Amino acid sequence: MRAVVTVVGKDKMGIIARVSAYLKDIKANIEDISQTILQDYFVMIMLVDLSKCDKKIAAIQKDFDIISAEIGVSARIQHEDIFNTMHKI
């Protein structure tokens, strides 16, 4: 099972480290990652493999809500199929 993780917020040191450390802790594998800085804003999208992860996407999102508040970003996760369906033209 794969999911798409998006992270957006004011750029600051440690965003990638915090999010990727959490994903490692829950045994989610980052398969692909893209990040950029748009003026003062950090934008990252990741494709993650959740096949070895014991947490459901809803529980991961609750953890992301806490992480978002801690580091001042918006972190979201969606199942890959839902993400793809939402972004079809």
What does each C-alpha distance from 21 to 16, 28, 38, 39, 89 come to in angstroms? 8, 10, 24, 26, 34
Is the confidence at residue 33, as pLDDT, over 70?
yes
Q: Shortest CA distance to 44 belongs to which of 27, 64, 60, 26?
A: 64
Q: What is the mean pLDDT of the chain?
A: 93
Least confident of 18-27, 32-41, 49-58, 73-82: 73-82
pLDDT value of residue 79: 82
User: The pTM is what?
Assistant: 0.88
Residue 23: Cβ-neighbour burial (10 angstroms; 0-12, 13-18, 19+): buried
Contact 64, 77 (CB under 8 A): yes
pLDDT at 7 over 80: yes
